[in-house]
Amino acid sequence: MFRLESCAETSMKTLFITGATGGLGRLCVQALSASGRWTVFAAGRNPGKLEALGRLPRVVPVKMDILAEASVREAREFVRERAGSLDAIAHMAGASSFVSLVEGKGLAELSALMELNLIGAARINQAFFDLLARDGSDGVLPGRSAGRIIHCSSEAGWMKTQPFAGPYYASKHALEAYNDSLRRELMFLGIPVIVLRPGSFDTELTRSVQDDFSRVEAGTALYRDVLSRMKPLMLWELTRRNDPERFVRVFMRALEAPRPRISYKVGTGP
């Protein structure tokens, strides 16, 4: 299941990142590898993309299903055996959708996105937390940890919710609430919890929303006229070309700043 590769350079910092095979996640892994400052445990589900990441210097691929408790536990044990501890956890795994809340599969999408975008992050944080908070000897040192947690939310996490994007907005609003509560809890242990709020980037996620729109438009009995009028605006929003390198720079700043901000927006409004 895993490529067994030791973390030989113990002076480096060590990161566990989910969603490593996605568009922005993959770019972050590549930047971390190129920096020479991090050993990266890059987690994802796509074997081919994981194999490609594993060819990068200081990147250890981890095949993991964030939705499966057993898979998460197995990944945690692998990281513990290879690294012993972590300096950071970054959450890049996530998905979006375009769906009606009253017609079609809205309830199923709401459940699925809550499980992936919210519960998945919480599952990882709980499973890996002892690796992040340990002092390298025999326990947690309240107020003295150097580790940090980064959640990738979205502009949907703080903006007013939009029609046909209810499951996505609900999951990101929930992630922001979870992030803030965890941040206020872990500040007593000296562990920063940071949220990133990217706007629209050209990734697999935005392309999947376009596919969802086409399916909803073809199958709706209630919103055909509404969707026809919405379509130009939605396509304009989804095809905006924010430079993904902007996101990578902000991600690196959140990861490495001695005093990171609570939140970072990139490619979105003020």
Q: Are 7 and 30 in contact (CB under 8 A)?
A: no
What pLDDT, on a 0 to 100 scale, did the predictor assign at position 59? 98
Task: Using alpha carbons, select from 192, 154, 150 the residue that is nearest to residue 172.
Answer: 154
User: How open is the CA angle 195-191-114, to the nearest 5 degrees?
Assistant: 40
Mean pLDDT by 10 residues, the chain (270 residues): 42 93 94 97 97 97 97 98 96 92 92 97 97 63 70 86 90 96 95 92 69 84 88 72 88 96 84
What pLDDT, on a 0 to 100 scale, did the predictor assign at position 203? 64
Strand partners, 151: 91, 195
CA–CA distance from 249 to each of 28, 70, 94, 244 (Å)?
9, 34, 20, 9
Q: Are 169 and 162 in contact (CB under 8 A)?
A: yes
CA distance 91 to 89: 7
Mapped onto helix, strand or coil, the DSSP state of residue 61 is: strand
Q: Could you identify the residue written with the tokens 């989910």? A: 18
CA distance 78 to 213: 40
Spatial neighbors of 175 by CB under 8 A, at least 6 apart, are 117, 118, 121, 151, 153, 157, 195
**End-to-end alpha-carbon separation of the chain, Å?**
43
Q: Are 242 and 127 in contact (CB under 8 A)?
A: no
CA distance 150 to 128: 13
Structure-token pair, residue 39: 């050993």
Structure-token pair, residue 156: 């949907």
pTM over cut 0.85: yes
What pLDDT, on a 0 to 100 scale, did the predictor assign at position 133? 81
